[in-house]
Amino acid sequence: MEMVKVSNVSKTYGKEAMHHALHQVSFSIEPGEFVGVMGPSGSGKTTLLNTISTVDQPTSGDILIKGLNPLQLKGDELALFRRRELGFVFQDFNLLDTLTVGENAVLPLTLDRIPVAEQDKRLHSIAKTLRIDHLLGKRTYEISGGEAQRTAIARAVIHQPSLLLADEPTGNLDSKAARTVMELFEKINKEHQQTTIMVTHDPVAASYCGRIIFIKDGSIYNEIHSGGSRQQFYQQIIDVLSLLGGAAHGV
């Protein structure tokens, strides 16, 4: 079964001056895929990610995650679904400054009242994967942007969510830290078959994905799959972006 099935999703903002942020968007994502979403500024990428993550509701059409429509869940069930099945990574890290790196990373397990011994075991393992094991006692203001984003990724996957959603995860990082973060997304995707959707403007970051969906004016414009080397895929991405035009920054 598909991990994500988006069927004829449209999203309209406003009443009198209606704005069609998404128009009849359909696609599926299989378990274990790493999918990038690209397109010019204002094309609807974040709106799409927000409708998949249940933060926003489509105006029409529906979205199934593992065959389930989360919007049909009631109050607490929806909150629980989000907490257990989804992981989020944002451009500005969204770490809690009052907590240490380790406390930030285990937050989903703390909220789920997982026993401390189990929390420690999982923290140890994910911290090693993300190379933050030497930072666990530090405060968020004592670490670099790249380290903060690696901590945010640890927090997003420590509870083994069905779906990892990332919105411009390299947007606030220099190119070296961005590459490290993308190598780690790729590693988690490959080693843990972590299904991942990432919105990005950055063709280098996108070249780590297995497939890119391009959005233009709220509709799917094109889709490409990685076949050969990452360098070849990067070139394919650049080619589509140049056809797409608009404000596709980073090219």
List contacts with ligand ATP (CB under 6 A). 13-14, 19, 21, 39, 41-47
For ligand ATP, the closer of residues 184 and 248 by Cβ is 248
What tokens appear for 88 in the block?
């989020």
**Residue 202 CB, nearest approach to ligand ATP (Å):** 11
**Residue 19 CB, nearest approach to ligand ATP (Å):** 5
Cβ atoms of residues 161 and 192 within 8 Å: no
Cβ atoms of residues 212 and 235 within 8 Å: no
**Residue 247 CB, nearest approach to ligand ATP (Å):** 8
Tell me the three state secondary structure of residue 36. strand
- For residue 121, the surrounding DSSP H or E stretch is helix 116-129
For ligand ATP, the closer of residues 13 and 142 by Cβ is 13
**Residue 46 CB, nearest approach to ligand ATP (Å):** 3
Cβ within 8 Å of residue 9, ≥6 positions away = 22, 24, 25, 26, 48, 51, 58, 60, 61, 62, 63
